Amino acid sequence: MSSSKRTGTFRVKTPWSTGDSSVPESSGPQSFVFSLDHRPRATRASVPKVRSGCVTCKRRHVKCDEAKPACQRCLKWQGFCDGYKTAELAPPKDDRRRRRSSPSARSEKSDSGLPANFETLQLSDQFGVEENSSQESSQNSELDDHWETFYCDCWSSLASNLGGGWFSSPLFTQTIPQISQDEPAIRYAIMAIAALACSLSPNIVPADSSVGDANDYHYNAALTHYGQAIRLIRLQQEPNSASTLRVAVVACILFACFEILHGSHEAAVNHISFGSLMLSGQADVAQLKLEDEIMQVFERMEWSAWSIGLMTGTVQVPIEINSRFSPDDMPTKFSGLGEARRWWDAIQHWTLHFSQAMAGPTYADGDFLPGIKTMQSQCLGMLERWNSLFWPLYTTASSPRKGSSYYQATSLLLQSIVLHAYISSFGFQDHYALEQITSQFKEMVRLSGILLSNQTVFKGCSEVFTLDSGPTCSLFLAATKCLDPTVQAEATSFLTKYARRDGFWDSRAALGILGQDLSSSGEYSGSIDPALQYLDQ
């Protein structure tokens, strides 16, 4: 309109309007033209519009319930929430324009590794930064690429120890990163693990979801990526195809790793059970190298869960899932430490039958049940056969007493001693047998000290996190089951000096059970898993 003021026409039609010229003009239909200086803005709701909702609801143009740290409406809709953005973090508008127009601002990096225009990239879409949509999408893409690269680098550092740290872990260091290039669900899963590890740095202490820091960018990113990974797995197009099942099984390993790192042990056990069941349903599992590597990881995590008391009663995972590795097919000679480890994983898995039996009634008339003794004899026979094939490899690797081969052999020897002590003492229930295996407890502590002092840690952290059977279990058993006070004290000192997490085993939680109150000194902020109380019996 050319006029600076708006005009409006208001017509009133009276019942006596006839159009007759004899009727006065004022009594006919009247039209009034008037100016509107200020037209009141119509509201769409009875309450003013707020801008404190989450990013996802704002993008979808829906009402946010403003739950913290994640909007419940978003979680129900898509499984994750992009979180909230705080207006107080926004720099002044003039400063934002200066930073965007400065070439140096686009190239410089801050000390934290973030782009110098990180705040602008985070807040441009919410606080009125005057940019077109293509520039905003370019900046958001730049920020996403930065964090994806950052978390992938963190995963590379963390993955080297996930398999135990002594043997190579191609599944974690090579295969999973390669799969993540084509499978977004796997990529989001490894980013979630890396982000969670960063949020726990420098100490890999289990996160307490009830007191999670909503302002922690890494922690929120971990939950977001984890939800995205689960959502993508659920939305797979061909759920019954071989490739899709393979991705789902790999995702179960990563989900279990995330939950173990987060301290949610029951959820981790569920992922292990479901992944093993899916793997057991595939034909000729052991004939494919990738499936065989995946199966080894499940066997180690399952044994870790059993050893800590998280899987009691009936076996939740099929035991005979590997037809190629049966006790009768053990070779007469191991070609190397790698083959010895593969057969050790199988033997350790078979002994779950004995663990299951020890979880039920064991005594009758003051003695162990005959079936228990028969099963013990069979398990000890398998251990002795494996040990006779392994010992020549250990002797060769022990000269000199250094190098990767020596540490690999030492880790296998430590695990074999722990399992032999467990079986020979009927799950540490036979007091007389405990008196006879004091020397084995001493050897556990000695070998644990060798491994602890030579293992590298995740970049930026002071502790080790693995998914294998590490020294934590052996030290806890020596500190609680050995009858020699000297051995107990030495094992406790190692647990205190080398804080670490081996699968479900947490050295800090173990010390808490031993009476070393770390929570009062602020060194341990996580909660001791109730399953660990089983060990104190």
pLDDT tens, position by position, 12-70: 444 444 445 444 545 555 555 555 566 666 555 555 566 778 888 888 888 888 877 67
Distance of alpha carbon 268 from alpha carbon 261, whole angstroms:
9
For residue range 293-302, list pLDDT tens digits in order: 888 888 888 8
For residues 289-307, one letter each, b for 16 or more C-beta atoms within 10 angstroms of the residue's C-beta and e for the rest, the string is: eebbbbbbbbbbbbbbbbb
- Could you give the 3-state DSSP secondary structure of residue 266? helix
CB 190 within 8 A of CB 221: no
What one-character DSSP code corresponds to residue 213? -
Give the model's pLDDT for residue 309: 77
For residue range 472-520, list pLDDT tens digits in order: 999 999 998 999 999 999 999 999 888 888 889 888 888 888 875 344 3
What are the CA-CA distances from residue 404 to residues 85, 336, 408, 454 (Å)?
A: 48, 13, 6, 10
For residue range 318-374, list pLDDT tens digits in order: 444 444 566 777 888 998 998 999 899 888 888 876 766 666 656 554 566 667 778
